[in-house]
Amino acid sequence: MSLPFGYGVLRRIGKRLAQTFTLVLVQIWMICATHAAVAEPLRIAALGDSLTQGYGLMQQDGFTAQLQGWLAAHHVDATIINAGVSGDTTAGGLSRVDWTLTPDIDAMIVALGGNDLLRGLSPELSRTNLKGILEVARAKNVPVLLVGMQAPGNYGAEYKAHFDAIYPDLAEAYGTLYFEGFLKPLTDLGLWEQMLTTHMQADGVHPNAKGVSVIVEAMGPTVEDLVNRVLDNSVE
């Protein structure tokens, strides 16, 4: 009995089957590698000043530690890296953002500007520095959550208007996530004089552990959105 086709045809069919099988194996490997990468906790750098660093608090009571606890309680698989430096300005953040965003950092929270206000620095200078930080993040393809800051009224209405506008303007321009203000969850509670004794440290500038808890509870969902943005980008 003879086959309706020759050995050469069989050889070509076998070669194509081998190529198809190899391609399937490669695709399976890529899928497994992707799942393995996603299984690793995302790493989020919190670039900020003393509010981020946890000034005056026990380590477990600071912002990054409490935020880490919030994420764990809500089953969000991410690790918060404390990149807060007490006394840092937007200029300081700009000077160190490049080496903060190492290849293992998946996203960044930017919470800077409070010390610019304390020093009465020009809003345009703060805007330029924050813009530089966001440019570095964009170049490294790192999603950002930008945390706003509001100027006090004693600098005058014009200064306040210019400074307060920096954060929503840049968030829109760079497509970042945006949280209106680090201390805003506390001011939203009302009765600021009472908050100074119940939610703030004695200096009246830094929140105590209870105050940080209120801030984290308010900001946590936006940080979760940041994690989801990273995961969505990894699928595309």
- The catalytic site residues sit at 50, 203, 206
Distances (CA, A) of 131 to 68, 114, 124, 168, 221: 27, 16, 10, 12, 24
Give the number of other CB atoms < 10 A from CB of residue 164: 17
Residue 228's identity, in one-letter code, is: N
> Which pair of structure tokens corresponds to residue 189?
């509670």
> Which pair of structure tokens corresponds to residue 135?
């440019």
**CA-based nearest residue to 182, from 205, 203, 153:** 205
Q: At what angle do helices 7-39 and 209-235 cross, to 10 degrees?
A: 170
> Which pair of structure tokens corresponds to residue 209?
């552990």
